[in-house]
A and B are shown apart, each in its own frame.
Chain A
Amino acid sequence: MKPFADLLERLLYTQGRNAKIALLADYFATRPDPERGYALAAIAGKLDFPGAKPAVLRALVATRADPELFALSYDYVGDLAEAIALIWPKAEVESPPELPSVVDQLRRTPREAIPALIATWLDASDVSTRIALIKLITGGLRVGASLRLAKLALAQRFGVEVDAIEEIWHGLLPPYPTLFDWLERRTARPDPGTTPVFRPPMLAHPIEDTDRAGLDWSAYRAEWKWDGIRVQLVATPGGKRLYSRGADDISASFPEILAAMEFNAVLDGELLVIRDGVVAPFADLQQRLNRKIVSAKARAEYPVAVRLYDMLFDGAADLRGLPFDQRRARLEAWFAATTPARMDISPQIDFETEADLAGLRASARDDGIEGLMLKAAASPYLAGRPKGYWWKWKRDPLSLDCVLMYAQRGHGRRSSFYSDYTFGVWTEEGRLVPIGKAYSGYTDAELLVLDKWIRSHTTATYGPVREVEPGIVLEIGFDAAQRSSRHKSGIALRFPRILRLRLDKPVAEADRLETATRLIGAAAV
């Protein structure tokens, strides 16, 4: 358990993505089976111990520490696992259990004996091992991004494509002996069979002016770019799953889509809230994300559907090697024959010249549209982001001139710069009200100017945050403005970023709240 605890502690304090991958790679290369497999399962959130919930730990700590002192400590530390680990009496002899034995014993021990078992482990461990143990036992290790990093680490260390891991991942079971056998070249890659596994999706590049100039437009097909979330629908004789673009299984959040998947195919599309044929703003879809249990009310208020645009498998036939036009024909024929509920097909847009599309892009003002997609008629379905096949042509952002109000230091290499900015607009009474935060969009030179200015115009500090005098106008770009009860201003911006510094502009001439409010509902053009 100690090496795994050390890994978690180092990951916590390590800032860079590559450094984290290096730590994970080193761990997977040096730890034995089945320990590394269980570690991977823990990171993936695939270990569940029903007899060990946080309430069990709370009861347990009361046997080792005064309840009043624990309450004060927990209040100070803020994290249950850490507070318990820190207040637990120091081990007389440190001999922490091994990870596989922890998993094994938790599974075999009757529920009523689990608290005593955990206590003996905590008694024999150092602080960081205790924290790891408690988080492992109570399921607190799941950290969204780290599973992807773990897969990247495995791919890097063992010399395979990360997509080759993703393709079989959902057919594997902890502690993943077949995965490590394959990675270390003892066996062939495990065959997922009819398990409804995830296939790495094909992604698009943002198109720049220079890209457009060289494009043979007749070789491309156009579709709208919908403002929902990209999903993969997998239905095989072995089961049904709905995956997000990042390979998360989101089936449980969308039971009505699962119910509609009465077919044998793998499809690519956009998950949207659609009412009477009209796509609702992204904020509506957000009401349905990250929910384990979906109420009938939420299903009725935020009805979801999938707008399909590609087909990876038709039954057992793998279509990914076919050109886009042929896949599209297969999709349309399949759709006409199957007519699945809660799905439609994303229409193709007729056009001849670049000017046709530019005009459409500029005039589309619907909430649900982010811009255009361009797909090469001849493109096979390739995992990742191959250049030259698929392009996304987003609308120009909306923008507002805002006043810098607060600044905070960034992380990692930016930790000595004030690089995170809160900005606001003027109310009718002439006060500034914050409407958003931005961390990106500026050049290195602009960052230096801002950092220097902030340090010499600070009016108050609150921990890591500096309040500055109103003196800098930032031109803020964003994709849409939404009504929000969580913000004092009543408005929330989607994807705000700094377009440029307006050092030329007096702060009094920055935008007013009423101007910002008028933009609610209008998507970027």
Chain B
Amino acid sequence: MPPHPETWLQPRPEGLFCLPGGFFIDATRAVDRAIITHGHADHARPGHQHVLASVETLAIMRSRMGEGRAGITQQALAIGEVLRIGDVDVSLVPAGHVLGSCQVVMEYQGSRAVVSGDYKRRADPTCAPFTPVVCDVFVTEATFGLPVFRHPDTDKEIAKLLHSMTVFPERPHLIGAYGLGKSQRVIALLRASGYDAPIYLHGALAKLCTLYGELGINLGDLRPATVADKSALRGAVVLAPPSAVADRWARRLDDPVVAVASGWMRVRQRAKASGVELPLIISDHADWDELLATVIDVQAPEIWVTHGNETALIYQLGLMGRRGRALSLIGYGDEGDDT
């Protein structure tokens, strides 16, 4: 009988550790061997000796951390290719979260565990879609693990933004969006809707947008907001990290409509508390329905939850006849790239 994944995949202070492979997944401190699911700062930390990840994730890590800090040695693994590490067969499949994001599939003596990293199930023009893999244990996130989180259609949210731009044609629309993934997705969605005017960027977003371009994601005419004069920004779309939206940086804009693109915008009091005038419910994480659909798709009898609102999800898993287990890993959850 194949060994239960409990016996060979263990939560440790540094993150999840695969014993027969000798590696961590998304280690939160510097370790010898790490497999990285995606480039967000809470999952991709600097200072590891050997890093294995998708080509795009490695490029994103180098761009954000600099060559040396993104792993002393870097090894790319192509989607679907199987690599034996120690006694474990490892492969990467798309997670649909941000460009390059992958689930880590591990097989050991006939037992299979999948670590999702962060993921979503909706279409995203900037990355490959989530692929469900049938397994014995599925390790999931639960950022939006409450049934009140049901993200609306992304198209409707983009339509809301475009409508606001016709109601306030003179005012710049300042959109707070995470630097990796969300910004590029919002830009790509705007482009797909036919918006082809220049889009202005906060300095912190420029490098990653350029990198996306190099990796084949065309985002159209992008310009720095910092050097643009006020009149050029009238009626324009400006993107900045969420923290900059309420910061001194935003004072360069004349009476902006402040928008934030995030799944958290679903809850009104939370949106209002952040001073947002136009909340855009656009998320790169699975909502409640997507979490439950994924549990069914991967057919795993046992689900481990790394971080997020796990109480409700684990309760619901019980109702669905699955065993839920909270790993309560410390160090994930804040995408960490905007502060």
Chain A interface residues (CB < 8 Å from chain B): 9, 12-15, 65-66, 68-70, 72-73, 76-79, 82-83, 86-87, 90, 127, 131, 409, 411, 413, 415-416, 451, 455, 464
Known: A13-B277, A72-B312. A77 touches B267 (CB 8 A): yes
Q: Is B309 an interface residue (CB 8 A)?
A: yes
A86 to B312, CA, bound (A): 15
Among the stretches B17-25, B39-47, B99-107, B243-251, the one at the interface with A is B243-251
Q: Is B169 an interface residue (CB 8 A)?
A: no
A313 to B84, CA, bound (A): 95
Q: Which among A13, A70, A82, A413 has the greatest number of chain B C-beta atoms within 10 A?
A: A13
Chain B contacts for A131, CB-based, 8 A: 268
Q: Is B60 an interface residue (CB 8 A)?
A: no
Chain B contacts for A15, CB-based, 8 A: 275, 277
A298 CB to nearest chain B CB (Å): 33
- Check if A66 sits within 8 Å of B246, measured CB to CB: no
Q: Is B278 an interface residue (CB 8 A)?
A: yes
Interface size on B, residues (CB 8 A): 31
Known: A13-B279, A415-B246, A416-B250. A73 touches B273 (CB 8 A): no
- Check if B269 sits within 8 Å of A69, measured CB to CB: no
- Bitwise interface map of B from 228 to 261 toward A, beta carbon under 8 Å scored 1, else 0: 0000000000000000001110110001001000
- Check if B247 sits within 8 Å of A72, measured CB to CB: no
A496 CB to nearest chain B CB (Å): 24
A72 to B251, CA, bound (A): 39
Chain B contacts for A78, CB-based, 8 A: 269
Q: Is B271 an interface residue (CB 8 A)?
A: yes
- Check if B277 sits within 8 Å of A14, measured CB to CB: yes
Chain B contacts for A65, CB-based, 8 A: 147
Chain B contacts for A451, CB-based, 8 A: 248
- Check if B278 sits within 8 Å of A76, measured CB to CB: no
B333 CB to nearest chain A CB (Å): 15
- Check if B150 sits within 8 Å of A76, measured CB to CB: no
Known: A72-B312, A90-B150. A82 touches B248 (CB 8 A): no
Chain B contacts for A455, CB-based, 8 A: 248
A121 CB to nearest chain B CB (Å): 19
Chain B contacts for A83, CB-based, 8 A: 148
Chain B interface residues (CB < 8 Å from chain A): 146-150, 152, 246-248, 250-251, 255, 258, 266-269, 271-273, 275-279, 309, 311-312, 315-316, 319
SS class, residues of chain B in contact with chain A? mixed
A87 to B269, CA, bound (A): 16
- Check if B148 sits within 8 Å of A77, measured CB to CB: yes
- Check if A12 sits within 8 Å of B272, measured CB to CB: yes
- Contact of A82 (CB < 8 Å), options: B250, B267, B278, B319: B267
A464 to B312, CA, bound (A): 27
Chain A contacts for B272, CB-based, 8 A: 12-13
- Check if B267 sits within 8 Å of A69, measured CB to CB: no
Chain B contacts for A87, CB-based, 8 A: 147-148
- Check if B315 sits within 8 Å of A415, measured CB to CB: no
- Contact of B273 (CB < 8 Å), options: A79, A86, A464: A464
- Check if A86 sits within 8 Å of B277, measured CB to CB: no
A-B pairs with beta carbons under 8 Å apart, 11 shown? A12-B268, A15-B275, A73-B146, A76-B267, A76-B309, A77-B269, A82-B267, A87-B147, A87-B148, A415-B258, A464-B273
* 6 nearest A-B pairs in the assembled complex, by CB-CB distance: A86-B148, A415-B275, A73-B148, A72-B312, A87-B147, A13-B277
A90 to B153, CA, bound (A): 12
B152 CB to nearest chain A CB (Å): 8
Q: Which among A73, A78, A451 has the greatest number of chain B C-beta atoms within 10 A?
A: A73
- Check if B268 sits within 8 Å of A82, measured CB to CB: yes
- Contact of B319 (CB < 8 Å), options: A66, A73, A413: A66
- Check if B251 sits within 8 Å of A69, measured CB to CB: no
- Check if B246 sits within 8 Å of A86, measured CB to CB: no
Chain A contacts for B248, CB-based, 8 A: 416, 451, 455
Chain B contacts for A464, CB-based, 8 A: 273
A87 to B146, CA, bound (A): 9
Chain A contacts for B266, CB-based, 8 A: 86
Q: Which among A65, A82, A90, A416 has the greatest number of chain B C-beta atoms within 10 A?
A: A416
Chain A contacts for B278, CB-based, 8 A: 13
A65 to B319, CA, bound (A): 13
A420 to B67, CA, bound (A): 44
Known: A77-B269, A82-B268. A416 touches B148 (CB 8 A): no
- Contact of B146 (CB < 8 Å), options: A72, A127, A411: A72
- Check if A76 sits within 8 Å of B148, measured CB to CB: yes
A9 to B246, CA, bound (A): 21
With A13-B278, A68-B315, A87-B147 given, name 11 new contacts (CB 8 A): A13-B272, A13-B277, A72-B146, A72-B312, A77-B269, A78-B269, A82-B268, A409-B275, A411-B275, A415-B275, A451-B248
Chain A contacts for B276, CB-based, 8 A: 13
A208 to B237, CA, bound (A): 46
